Amino acid sequence: MNKLSIIVAISENNAIGKNNQLLWHLPADLKHFKEITMGHTIIMGRKTYDSIGKPLPNRRSIVITRSKDLVIEGVEVVNSLAHAIELCKQDEEAFIIGGAEVYKQAISYATGIHLTKVHQNYEADTFFPEINPTAWREINSITYPADEKNNVAYTFSSLERI
């Protein structure tokens, strides 16, 4: 695999979810996610898959679970991040899409991060790990104000491992 990228939306306080749900509704971020991941492999934990509820169209889905007998139609099920990465070795780029445990494991393997920073703090039970500023360099960033469709300001940025 050429690139293993994390794609994540986090709040100012690194929150990513509560009760297995997203904390905000940002149509622009959903569109951004779709544009970046379309045609690629997405790797996620089982709880993230459960929150989505189905395989996403035009993407190969790999779900990591501790369950030895879980079968999900249209999805490859594995028991470790290492196995998921192994399945992607022929891919140009694969994306880690959550959740917190998978992000925590994957951040040391990732070569890039597609980060949406939601400019607000949220009460949450799930957080993204701290991004070490000595390990990552921002290569682009665009900030958008809140508008009629997206009720909070946000920034799309791309980071690459130094």
Backbone φ and ψ for 51, nearest 5 degrees, come out as: -70, -30
Residue range 33-51, pLDDT digits in tens: 999 999 999 999 999 999 9
The sign of the dihedral angle between the CA atoms of 104, 79, 125, 56 is positive
- In this prediction, residue 2 carries a pLDDT of 86
User: Are 6 and 110 a contacting pair, CB within 8 Å?
Assistant: yes
Domain definitions of the chain by residue range = 3-161
Full-model pTM: 0.96
Instruction: Say how far apart CA 131 and CA 27 lie, in whole Å.
Output: 25
Residue range 96-153, pLDDT digits in tens: 999 999 999 999 999 999 999 999 999 999 999 999 999 999 999 999 999 999 999 9
Partners of residue 64 on adjacent β-strands: 45, 78
3-state secondary structure of 116: strand
H helix or E strand, kind and range, residue 101: helix 100-106
* Superfamily of domain covering 3-161: Dihydrofolate Reductase, subunit A (3.40.430.10)
